[in-house]
Structure 1
Amino acid sequence: MDKKHSYKDVFSQTEYVKIMFAALINRFGDSIDAIATTWIVYQITGSAAWSALIFGINNLPTVVVTPLAGPWVEGRNKKRIMIVTDIIRAIVVATVASLFLVDLLQPWMLLISTIIISTVEAFRTPASTALTPMVLDDELYEFGMSLNSSLSQVVQLIGLGCAAGIIALVGISGALYIDMATFIMSAVIILFVNSHEVKKEKVVFKFSEYTKDFIDGVKYVSKEAVIVFFLLYTVCLNAVLVPVNGLQAPMAEQLLHSGVELLSIFSITLTVGMLLGSFVYPFIAQKITPKILYWGEMVAIFAFYVGIVVAEPLYSNKIFTYVIVSVLSVLLGMGISIGSSMISVIFMRKVNKEFIARTASIATSVSVMAMPVVSFIVSGIVSFVSVQTVFIVSGIATVVANVALSKFLYLLDDKNEGESEQITESIRAEEDTLSQEATEA
């Protein structure tokens, strides 16, 4: 009889525990850095436009680098990549902290540091993912990944909760130095991991092969209606959330008339909402149709954008401010989490497994692409209009986008399951024809 495993068994996987512990330390530092960096951008620029611009720049490497980073990482030592990228991030963060401390930090320096950090993260993530199966037994994979994910969320909440206090105690530069220290600690821990990697010939990146796989993926995506809907849905979702992500500091100061402590409250309650949404989704999905969940997410996002502006007269009272922001943020987090979970499950169920990796890669690049584009637009608009106006327009845009995409809602039903296989066969037939023509030529 097969042995039943539990979370306790994960701790017998010593090397995996080391990697998990390093990731948790990183997450704590990133949580503090998220608040400190958001505030530092707005403090040195005094511009909501710069806040939106840097948020957009931060996502560019995900679009450009991520599709190419995976093949490059595959043929190289993952442990070494993780250590080197941690060290690079530590150096960059320390440089930013030092420049800010001596009052020499300029907005263009923040742009460069943001690009460097985001680029190295695009390499570290696939390296860490590829290393996991080497240090974690197959039968413990689900428990190990679930434990890592749950602890990461807890640590993130702790970091967000401590961020305002840490900044008040040691200043923004001090908070960034703490983030630097977490990267160094992570690199040291990874150094002592026995990754069980064997030396092998490096995989040479062939652009022609990558292009062929990419084109096949594009063909599949363009012919599969449910994936077209998935792409449009994620693009619209990322786009309408740009203002709340990119204008957090201006929101806190101009709209909520508060300081950095409000950013911590917003981030904590938003994370709590997303955790609650993830937890309840499997249960409510059994009783509520995907179509209702689809409209429910729209209501949650609209309620946040419009509600937080309409309630502005109440922000003279700090308690009212904290309560209103907390309630709306939890609602927003739950809406985003439930909607994202719903569309992800549909994606996994209806996409042909043969194309799922390429499709996911294309979907990630395309959906994230909306974020820098909209961020640049917002950075220009916010120079002429208030944050309040941007939020109201974003709420209206959410409704317009959901109504426009509602014509695809029939795809949320469990129908046309054979469509994906038919498309796959069609693409295979095209490939066979092209291959035969090339042979004859």
Structure 2
Amino acid sequence: MSDNTAVGKQGMGELIRIRPYMQFMLSKVVSRFGDSIDSIAYSWMVYILTGSKVLMGTLLAVNFLPNILLGLFAGALVDRMSPKKVIVITNTGRGLLVGITALLFGLGQLEVWHLFVITILNSLLECFTSPAEVSSVPRLLPPSMLLSGNAMSSSATRVAELAGLAVAGALIATIGIAWTILIDAGLFALSALIMSRVGYPDVLTSANNENKTSTEMDSLSSDKSSIFSEMAEAFHFLRKHALLLIVSILFAFVNFCLMPFNVLRTPYVIETLHAGAGGLSLLSGLMVGGMLLSGVWLTQRGANYRKSVLVISGIVMLGLSYAMTALPAYMTSFQLPVAAAFCLLMGMGIPLATTPLATYLMEVTPSEMLGRVYALQSMLVLSVAPLGSLASGALADWMTMPVLFIVFGIMLAMSAGMLLFSKSFRSAL
């Protein structure tokens, strides 16, 4: 026990001494803090501006489209660019877009078509930011420190999300939506400034690159057609690994089932829980808090269980907790605390379901293909999200939100049966 603790402390101390990585992580934490504030303020703004559940679902559907259509191409393209420049440019661009949104809303000039244009542009920039952040880590850390570095980054961003969600409701209540969104714009600008100060080593030190020959490195500047060849390799790899493909399809269905809750969370807080922006912050914050608690538990105890058991348990917990968020609609008191408790359980189920599968993906995928395969799997998982968003907004007009949550939550929980009766899944995990 003491040996393990010593190793953990040593890893943490070494990470803190790597200045470029700590600057990179600080930039990421600042942008994630802004993302969390924006997620509450933007959702609240859209509902106040439109009052339409159908439009909210349509807007969320549009948000997924750039990643679905261009995510794999963006991932392959980022591999050929400086990740530092990509992150600085995209965070600066996102800050400008958010700032324009705040300005238009504050002046009373924000219209629905503005929301769609800004959402598409913002999502397009995110397509480049995520793979650039992933590719930055092995450039800034030696191979022996990747695990501890990723763990620290994950924990820090979860804390940033919690902090952002915690203050969002208070900011909206005290200074208004426009100023809250403007603060988010400033945070993106600050993140870009911090990132511009990060010094990337000239020599790539990651395990993925340390054994590459000069010919292989020169291929990074080859003609554009090779980008599409690399994208095709990801398709071939996923097709040959049936279990990864099955899991991708399953989690596409899970995402589809979660769309009613994602789309209708703001009207759920207002109409069912009779709470304000603070209530929305509370529910979102507890979901992130549940994810943090579950992640810590997985770090300490997860290795004692088969991955298949963790995944199935996580999906069942997520689905049943989701269905139980309908319970407050049939209560006369303590509605918000009950909803908050089930949101916490929903958050705890997410890492149980997803972390073992992410680990399996890393175990079976060659390191030089991991970015492309990850991007392709993400595209597949998100592929039905726009349909789910549109369906959620439409269904909410003739079916009550509690009934929607019950139906889709039970469907989600039952999807675990697909894995429970799959011998290949149980044997591989």
Q: Normalising by structure 2, report the TM-score.
A: 0.86
Asked if the contact 1:76–1:202 (Cα under 8 Å) also holds between the matched residues in 2, the reply is: no
Distance 1:86 1:350 in 2: 32
Question: Partner of 1:150 in structure 2?
Answer: 155
Taking a change above 3 Å as real, the CA distance of residues 229 and 352 of structure 1, as seen in their structure-2 partners, is: farther
Residue correspondence of structure 1 range 296-315 to structure 2 within 5 A: 296-314=313-331
Distance between the aligned counterparts of 1:41 and 1:118, measured in 2? 17
2:373 is aligned, of 345, 359, 363, to 359
Structural mapping, 1:160-171, within 5 Å = 160-171=165-176
- Displacement of 1:352 in angstroms is 6.2
Unaligned runs of 5+ residues in structure 2 are 1-5, 204-216
- Cα distance change of structure 1 residues 137 and 330 upon mapping to structure 2, 3 Å threshold: same
AA paired with 1:321?
A: Q
User: Offset of 1:350 from its aligned partner?
Assistant: 4.6
Deviations 1:56-81 (A, max 9, x none): 22122221222111332333333332
Q: 1:384: which partner in 2?
A: 398
Distance 2:26 2:308 in 1: 40
Counterpart of 1:271 (choices 288, 307, 312) is 288
Cα gap change, 1:355 to 1:178, in 2 (>3 Å)? closer
Verify: 1:76 aligned to 2:81, yes or no.
yes
Instruction: Confirm or deny that 1:225 pairs with 2:281.
Output: no
Q: Distance in 1 between matches of 2:96 and 2:84?
A: 19
Deviations 1:244-289 (A, max 9, x none): 2222101111222222111111111111111122222355545555
State whether residues 72 and 203 of structure 1, in contact with CA within 8 Å, keep that contact through their aligned partners in structure 2: no
- Structure 1 26/214 Cα, relative in aligned 2: closer, same or farther at 3 Å? closer
Q: Distance in 1 between matches of 2:148 and 2:424?
A: 35
User: Is residue 226–residue 350 contact of structure 1 (8 Å, CA) maintained in 2?
Assistant: no
2:111 aligned to which of 106, 109, 134: 106
Deviates most, 64-73 or 247-256:
64-73
The percent of aligned pairs where both chains have the same amino acid is: 25
Instruction: Go from structure 1 to structure 2 and tell me whether the alpha carbon gap of 1:204 and 1:108 turns closer, same or farther (over 3 Å shift).
Output: farther
Q: Distance between the aligned counterparts of 2:362 and 2:81, measured in 1?
A: 29
Structure 2 distance, partners of 1:272, 1:97, is: 28
Using the alignment, how far apart are the partners of 1:137 and 1:145 within structure 2?
A: 12
Give the distance between the partners of 2:286 and 2:57, measured in 1 at CA: 22
Cα distance in 1 for partners of 2:163, 2:235 equals 41
Alpha-carbon distance in structure 1 between the residues aligned to 2:139 and 2:362: 25
Kept in 1, the 8 Å contact 2:70–2:127? The answer is yes
2:297 maps to which of 271, 275, 280: 280
Q: Look up the match of 1:190.
A: 195
CA distance in structure 1 between the partners assigned to 2:14 and 2:128 by the alignment: 30
Deviations 1:47-101 (A, max 9, x none): 1222222222212222122211133233333333222222211111111111111
Equivalent positions of 1:133-148 (< 5 A) are: 133-148=138-153
Partner of residue 421, structure 1? none
Instruction: Tell me how far apart the structure 2 counterparts of residues 203 and 162 of structure 1 sit (CA, whole Å).
Output: 43
Does the CA contact (< 8 Å) of 1:164 and 1:260 recur in 2?
yes
Asked if structure 2 preserves the Cα contact closer than 8 Å seen for 1:96 and 1:105, the reply is yes
Structure 1 counterpart of 2:212: none
Please list, as runs of the form range in 1=range in 2, the aligned pairs for 1:229-268 lying within 5 A after superposition.
Answer: 229-268=246-285
Task: Assess, with a 3 A threshold, how the Cα gap between structure 1 residues 353 and 408 changes in structure 2: closer, same or farther.
Answer: farther
**How many corresponding residue pairs?**
409
| Residue aligning to 2:427 | 413
The worse-fitting range, judged by mean Cα deviation, of 352-361 and 230-239 is: 352-361
The answer to whether the 8 Å contact 2:75/2:371 transfers is no
Give ranges in structure 1 of 5+ residues lacking alignment: 416-441
Alpha-carbon distance change, 143 to 402 in structure 1, aligned in 2, over 3 angstroms: closer
Match of 2:128 in 1: 123
SS of match in other structure, 2:275: coil
2:186 matched residue in structure 1: 181
Q: Give the counterpart of 1:374 among 379, 383, 388.
A: 388
- The amino acid of 2:234's aligned partner reads G
The alignment partner of 1:413 has SS state of helix
Equivalent residue for 1:430?
none
Alpha-carbon distance change, 283 to 129 in structure 1, aligned in 2, over 3 angstroms: closer
Displacement after TM superposition at 1:238 (Å): 1.4
CA–CA distance in 2 between the matches of 1:10 and 1:293?
30
Do the aligned partners of 1:249 and 1:263 also contact (CA within 8 Å) in 2? Answer: yes
Q: Distance in 1 between matches of 2:371 and 2:28?
A: 24
CA deviation after TM superposition for structure 1 residue 220, in Å: 3.5
Q: Is the 8 A contact 1:134 1:197 kept in 2?
A: no
